[in-house]
Amino acid sequence: MTILIKNANEVITLKSVAQGPRIKEQMRDIAIVPHGSVLIEKNRIVAIGTIAQLEVDYPDLIKEAEVIDATGKVVMPGLVDCHTHLVHGGTREQEFNMRLNGATYMDIMNGGGGIHATTKQTREASFDELYVKTLRHLDVFLKHGITTIEAKSGYGLDWENEKKQLEVAKKLQATHAIDIVSTFMGAHAVPHDYKGREDEFVDMLVGDMLPKVAELGLAEFNDVFCEKGVFTPEQARRILEAGKALALTPKIHADEIEPYKGAELASEVGAISAEHLLVASDEGIQKMAATGTIAVLLPGTAFFLRAPYARGRLMIDEGVPVAISTDFNPGSSPTMSLPFIMNLACMHMSMTLEEVLTATTINAAYALNRGDQIGSLEAGKQADVIMLDVANYKQLQYFYGMNHTHTVIKNGQVVVK
């Protein structure tokens, strides 16, 4: 199938001469083609330019193309949500109410709620129940313009249920339009039956679960919740190094609630990204800049936990490549709206309109090791393209709290219109 998206007010291409995740002022260079058109053949982007140019260069393709009129609208790459806890049982609105009444997130978790509550609900859910629930969530993400999403396990905390979560993601990858990238996060919490025997749980992750995940090809990344009272930096290092030896790329939940030198650890183990970083230290930020470790910032979590926001502005100024994501999960960020999260990044982390576009497209794609395939509109890249019902990209955040997604093209197919 050939598609011509014709005459958008702005085509935001995110094309750059820079290779790799964008840093500093590169994050502001979103490479707009005014009055632009995009030509797509099968699942690839053929060219971007004015219609007059494309008609000269590709007369035959243009003749057979299905035309989508983008007059008055903005066209850009599909959004990449690079940090979610997508597959899980149940909801936790009662804990939200407890927090509104003064309880803290860690109090609730230490009292057997939090991640433990969702673990119970995820263990109780059948494969089919999880599949149907997650499918509905994916439909909502797609309507918000997300065309690729990361999915972490970590609510099974035993092999049977971690495998179930990862297999649900795998089946959805085969059946749903959104591309799903899997991360193993068996080190999300220490389950109750290992209480007081935390190192034995780590032994089991390293000696048993990680090799099985790698052997079955169930994940590309390996993530750890490095936090006081959860996994120490030493335990996190062990788990991440063990994953590395099995070709599972390290990611880390770092410095989310208390400073714990998680950013430093991410840089030291060569993690592709450190995520959260609400209370990352100056030194950690500098180390990440030096190693090019991507900061995946999740301002929805700061919003929903009423915690301090990560120092996104400082990180960009220091040269850390920044990506932004929803952190969709039932406890600290139950939203499927990446556009809302982008607004929080502008308002509370002083990121510019251009920086948040980079952070949710090409930099997020690099955080999933897919920067060469998605995240920008360039000839040869996968045709993941969205059309937004706004006159220019600045209106995306100006008309806040709304979903402006009009049309979604995934892999060259119109999937939302």
Interface positions with ligand NIG (CB under 6 A): 85, 114-115, 118, 225, 253, 256, 301, 327, 329-332
Query: Would you say 61 or 149 has its CB closer to Fe ion?
Result: 149
Helices (H), 40-126: 51-57, 59-64, 93-100, 105-110, 115-124
Query: Cβ 350 to ligand NIG, closest distance in Å?
Result: 22
- What CA–CA distance (Å, rounded) separates 410 from 153? 25
Q: For ligand NIG, which residue has the nearest CB? A: 331
Residue 41 touches which of Fe ion, ligand NIG, none (CB < 5 to 8 A by kind)?
A: none
Query: Would you say 301 or 335 has its CB closer to ligand NIG?
Result: 301
Residue 222 touches which of ligand NIG, Fe ion, none (CB < 5 to 8 A by kind)?
A: none
Residue 301 touches which of Fe ion, ligand NIG, none (CB < 5 to 8 A by kind)?
A: ligand NIG
Query: Cβ 202 to ligand NIG, closest distance in Å?
Result: 17
Relative orientation angle of helices 159-175 and 127-143, to the nearest 10 degrees: 50
Query: Cβ 329 to Fe ion, closest distance in Å?
Result: 6
- The backbone region for 406, taken as left when phi is positive above 0, alpha when psi lies in -120 to 50, beta otherwise, is alpha
Residue 332 touches which of ligand NIG, Fe ion, none (CB < 5 to 8 A by kind)?
A: ligand NIG
Query: Would you say 299 or 339 has its CB closer to ligand NIG?
Result: 299
Number of residues forming the site for Fe ion (CB under 5 A): 1
- What CA–CA distance (Å, rounded) separates 178 from 174? 9
Query: Would you say 81 or 327 has its CB closer to Fe ion?
Result: 327
Residue 331 touches which of ligand NIG, Fe ion, none (CB < 5 to 8 A by kind)?
A: ligand NIG
Cβ-proximal residues to 151 (8 Å cutoff; 6+ apart), any chain: 84, 85, 86, 87, 169, 180, 181, 182, 183
Alpha carbon of 111 to those of 16, 88, 119, 198, 264: distances in Å? 49, 20, 14, 17, 30
Residue 115 touches which of ligand NIG, Fe ion, none (CB < 5 to 8 A by kind)?
A: ligand NIG
- Tell me the two tokens of residue 334: 């139950």
Region of 17-25, 41-49, 257-265, 320-328 interacting with Fe ion (CB under 5 A): 320-328
Query: Cβ 265 to ligand NIG, closest distance in Å?
Result: 15
Region of 20-28, 153-161, 175-183, 325-333 interacting with Fe ion (CB under 5 A): 325-333
The long-range contacts involving 17-22, CB below 8 angstroms and separated by at least 24 positions, are 20/292, 20/321, 20/366, 20/371, 21/292, 21/294, 21/321, 21/323, 21/362, 21/363, 21/366, 21/367, 21/371, 22/321, 22/358, 22/362, 22/363
Side-chain-facing half-sphere of 301: CA atoms under 13 Å? 26
Query: Cβ 315 to ligand NIG, closest distance in Å?
Result: 18
Query: Cβ 181 to ligand NIG, closest distance in Å?
Result: 16
Residue 330 touches which of ligand NIG, Fe ion, none (CB < 5 to 8 A by kind)?
A: ligand NIG
Question: Which helix (H) or strand (E) covers residue 81, if one does?
Answer: strand 79-81
Query: Would you say 176 or 253 has its CB closer to ligand NIG?
Result: 253
User: Is 294 within 8 Å of 358 (Cβ atoms)?
Assistant: no
- Burial status of residue 332 (CB atoms within 10 A of its CB: 0-12, 13-18, 19 or more): buried
Looking at this protein, which amino acid is placed at residue 137? Answer: H
Query: Would you say 11 or 324 has its CB closer to Fe ion?
Result: 324
Query: Cβ 189 to Fe ion, closest distance in Å?
Result: 12
Binding of residue 327 to Fe ion (CB under 5 A): yes
Residues that bind Fe ion (CB under 5 A): 327
